[in-house]
Structure 1
Amino acid sequence: MPASELRAEDIAARLSAAGLTPRVEQHRQVTSIEAEVPESLSAELWREVLEAVAEADRFGLLANSLNGRTLWAAVSTTAPATGDVRGPGRQQ
């Protein structure tokens, strides 16, 4: 199993352990993980959830009054191009 799939599965497992119900989808260049976040999530569980999605290549939170809050994470399934390997804070 590719390392990207293992990372995505680990993130999903950690979200599940925090009480969320993750949805994992394979796409051509990324594996996406999404989960609805309840209003009643404690500060301790928020820390666990944020630590889990911090392992992804990208993550975020979509929130609105109609659909509530959806946490998302994306793990790249392809290696970055040579110009993209500088990492956070090193973009020019």
Structure 2
Amino acid sequence: MPASEARARGIAARLSGLGLVTRVEEHALCTSIEAEVPEALPAESWRDVLEVVAEADRFGLLASSLTGRTLWAAAHKAVPATGDVRGPGRQR
């Protein structure tokens, strides 16, 4: 399991432990976690939630009157260490 996926699954497990239902998805550049945040989430639980998502490379909250509140976080995949980051034919 890639490190980004393992880190994302760890974040998702901790959010689940706080009572949130999570989804983990693989993308080309990162592994993402989403969780629906219930209106009834106690204010004191937000501190715990923020401590967990702070372990991600990026995180945020989407809020809409139609879809409610969705917390998201992303763990970036590692950049290749081979010097191949500029693509074929662009190496020194």
Task: Give the structure 2 partner of residue 39 of structure 1.
Answer: 39
Moved over 2 A (4+): none
**Percent sequence identity over matched residues?**
71
AA of the residue aligned to 1:2? P
- 2 CA distance for matches of 1:79 and 1:49? 28
Task: Give the structure 2 partner of residue 26 of structure 1.
Answer: 26
Q: TM-score, normalised by structure 1?
A: 0.81
Q: CA deviation at 1:6?
A: 1.8
- 2 CA distance for matches of 1:48 and 1:6? 20
- How many residue pairs were aligned? 81
**Secondary structure of 2:6's partner?**
helix
Q: TM-score, normalised by structure 2?
A: 0.81
Task: Give the structure 2 partner of residue 53 of structure 1.
Answer: 53
**Secondary structure of 1:24's partner?**
strand
- 1 CA distance for matches of 2:41 and 2:13? 17
Task: Give the structure 2 partner of residue 70 of structure 1.
Answer: 70
In terms of Rg, which structure is larger?
2
Tell me which moved more, 13-22 or 2-11.
2-11
CA RMSD in angstroms comes to 1.6
- Unpaired runs of 5+ in structure 2? 81-92
**Secondary structure of 1:69's partner?**
strand
**Secondary structure of 1:22's partner?**
strand
